[in-house]
Amino acid sequence: MRNMVSGIEKLQTQLKSAIKQGITTSEVDVFQANQTKFSDQTMEDEYSKDMYSGSGNGENVLLTVGLGLQKSIIKVGKDREKREIKDILVKSKVALAFVLHQ
C-alpha cells in the first residue's frame, strides 16, 4: 500500500511539473465577477436586461448571482517567456444596482 501511495505522489509531482513547463497548457476554471462596475466583457446582466435599454457598462454591480467559466492558456513565446491568456467561455451572471430602483 505504501508503494502505491508513493507511486501516485510521484506521478502527481510529474504532472504538476509538466503543467508548469507548458506541456499541458490549458486549464478551465470557474470565476465570479469581483468588480464593482459592470463590464460586458466578463459579466452578463441577469435581471435588468429586459428593463434597461443601455449596455450596462459602468453601472454599479449589486451582487453576483452566477459563476462564470474561463479557460486559461499558457503561451510560450519565441523568447521562452510564458504568458497567460484567459478566454471567457461563460460570463459571470450579475444583478445591477439598477434593479433596486424598479
pLDDT at 24 over 60: no
The larger pLDDT score, comparing residue 50 to residue 11, is at 11
Residue 59's domain spans which residues?
25-101
Model confidence, pTM: 0.59
Any domain includes 18: no
Any domain includes 3: no
Any domain includes 11: no
pLDDT at 23 over 60: no
Any domain includes 81: yes
pLDDT at 93 over 80: yes
The pLDDT of residue 85 is 83
Any domain includes 7: no
36-86: per-residue pLDDT in tens? 888 888 898 887 766 655 567 788 888 888 888 888 887 787 888 888 888
The pLDDT of residue 58 is 80
Any domain includes 9: no
SS (H, E, C) 5-70: HHHHHHHHHHHHHHHHHCCCCEEEEEECCCCCECCCCCEEECCHHHCCCCCCCCCEEEEEEECEEE
What's the structural domain count of the chain? Answer: 1
Any domain includes 13: no
